[in-house]
């Protein structure tokens, strides 16, 4: 679910200048995280209670991400706000994303 919603949120809540780089970075981190989890699992293959350690260690980054997302208070997607009839909030977020040149 996160591999679908994260790029969607990034594409809706970022300016066109950095949108591609942010979505690509997200994909890189997902792939890198999968590779890192394989290496961690390999390190725990000979430990008693193997699957518990594997699950616990790779669950820590997910918990950290959840806590950071709550602390940073990410704004709602402007598209979602428009669909819910909250145009003024959507406009405020869009003004932050696309500041005027003057």
Q: State residue 101's pLDDT score.
A: 55
How many other C-beta atoms are found inside a 10 Å radius of the C-beta of residue 10?
19
- What is the per-residue pLDDT for 25? 93
> What does the pLDDT read at residue 70?
84
Find the length of the chain. Answer: 102
Q: Which residue ranges of the chain lie beneath pLDDT 50?
A: 102
* The pLDDT value given to residue 102: 46
Q: Return the CATH fold of 2-97.
A: Growth Hormone; Chain: A; (1.20.1250)
Q: Any idea which residue has 């959840």 for tokens?
A: 66
Q: What is the pLDDT of residue 65?
A: 82
Tokens 């999968």 sit on residue:
34
Please give the Cα distance from 99 to 21 (Å, whole number).
19
Beta-carbon count within 10 A of 78 CB: 21
Distance of alpha carbon 90 from alpha carbon 80, whole angstroms: 8
């Amino acid at each position: 679910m996160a591999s679908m919603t994260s790029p969607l949120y990034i594409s809706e809540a970022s300016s066109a200048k950095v949108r591609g780089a942010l979505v690509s970075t997200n994909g890189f981190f997902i792939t890198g995280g999968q590779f890192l989890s394989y290496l961690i699992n390999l390190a725990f293959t000979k430990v008693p209670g193997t699957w518990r350690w594997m699950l616990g260690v790779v669950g820590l980054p997910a918990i950290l991400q959840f806590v950071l997302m709550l602390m940073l208070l990410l704004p709602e997607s402007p598209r979602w706000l428009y669909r819910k009839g909250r145009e003024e909030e959507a406009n405020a977020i869009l003004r932050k994303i696309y500041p005027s040149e003057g």
